[in-house]
Amino acid sequence: MQTKNIPEAPSLTAYIMAKNEEHSIERCIRALSWCPKVVVSDTGSTDNTKEIAKSLGCEVIDVKFDGFGTTRNRILDHITSDWIVCFDADEVCTPELAEEILDVLKNPTASAYLANRLTYLLGEPVLHSGWNPDFRHAVLFKKSDYRYTDRKVHEGFTTSGEVEKLKNSFKHFSFPTLATLMAQEKQYAELGAETMLGKNKKISPLRGLGHGTWAFLRHYVIRRGFLDGWKGFLIGVSAFHTTFYRYLIACEMKKSSDARK
C-alpha cells in the first residue's frame, strides 16, 4: 500500500493498547505505518513489547489497567490529536481499510466510524457464531465527541455525533492457540465477576449453570455456530466456561468479603 499524504488538519494519532504482545505488536504497528503517529499504551508488559514498539518509532506510555473502558479513556486523555485510530495489538488494519479511513478523513461526515472485525480462531476465520459481523467500538473517531463506557469488559462507547459503518474489515488474531482462548476466559470471568458484585446481582452456582448453558446455545445454535464446525462448538464451550466461572468466582469473592465483615 502506498502511503497517502494526511491533511495538516485534522491531526491524527493511532493508539494500541497492549500487554505482553511481543509476538504480534510489530505486525500491528507496521499495518498502521500510514498514520503520522502511533502510541503504544502498555498496561504492564513483562516481555519485549515496549522495546519492539520503541524500535519501530512509536511513543510508548505506561497505563495502569483498571478494566477496559476506564483504561481506554485514560489513554484518550493522553492524546491531543483531533482524530484517533484505535486497534489492539492482536489486530491488523488491512490496506483496504486504511485507504478507506484516509478517504473519510478528507471530508468526515460522522464523529465515529465502525469497521467489521474478522476474528481468527487457531488460524482460521470465524464466519458465524455471533463473531461475524462484529462491529465493536470505533476504529476511527473524533476525540472531542467520543468516550468509552466504564465497563470492565466488553466496553461500549458514547458519542455526541453521528456513527457510520465503513465497508472494509480488519483482522483479529486474538486466539492463535487454545492457551490464549483459555487465558481470555479467565480474564473475562474475573472482570465480569467484579462487575456483577458491583451491581449487586443475584449470584449462585445454579444461576451460573443456567446462564452458561444459555451462552452456549446462543452462540452454537441461535447464532449458527454449528456452521463453523468444530470452531463454532469450541466458541460455544468457551462462552459457557466464561459465564459459568464468572458466577462461581463472584460467589467466592462474596463469601470472602462476608467473612471479613
Whichever domain contains 111, its CATH number is 3.90.550.10
Residue 6 has pLDDT above 50, yes or no: no
Task: Please count the structural domains in the chain.
Answer: 2
Element (H, E) at 28: helix 25-30
Give the three cell numbers for residue 182: 483459555
Residue 229 and residue 194 share a domain? yes
Strands (E), the chain: 12-18, 38-42, 59-62, 83-86, 91-92, 112-114, 117-121, 124-125, 140-142, 146-148, 157-159, 163-165, 170-175
CA-closest candidate to residue 53, choices 81, 86, 27: 27
Is there a contact between 155 and 137 (Cβ–Cβ < 8 Å)? yes
If you average pLDDT over residues 1-15, what whole number do you get? 65
Q: What is the pLDDT of residues 44-76, one digit of tens each?
A: 999 999 999 999 999 999 999 998 999 999 999
Per-residue confidence band for 7, with pLDDT thresholds at 50, 70 and 90:
very low
Residue 246 and residue 138 share a domain? no
Residue 1 has pLDDT above 80, yes or no: no
Residue 113 and residue 151 share a domain? yes
Q: What is the pLDDT of residues 188-235, one digit of tens each?
A: 999 899 989 888 888 999 999 999 999 999 999 999 999 999 999 999
DSSP string, 125-165: E--STT-SS---S-SEEEGGGEEE---SSS--EEESS-EEE
Residue 116 and residue 67 share a domain? yes
Residue 17 has pLDDT above 80, yes or no: yes
Residue 163 and residue 185 share a domain? no
Residue 151 and residue 246 share a domain? no
> What's the pTM value of the predicted model, to 2 decimals?
0.81
**What angle separates helix 230-260 from helix 178-198, to the nearest 10 degrees?**
40
Position 261 in a domain: no
Position 7 in a domain: no
Among 175, 202, 226, which residue terminates a domain? 175
Residue 18 and residue 129 share a domain? yes
Q: Which domain holds residue 216?
A: 178-256
Give the three cell numbers for residue 149: 463506557
Residue 153 and residue 242 share a domain? no
In the predicted model, what is the mean pLDDT of the chain? 93
* pLDDT computed for residue 59 by the predictor: 97
Residue 236 and residue 158 share a domain? no
Residue 171 and residue 46 share a domain? yes
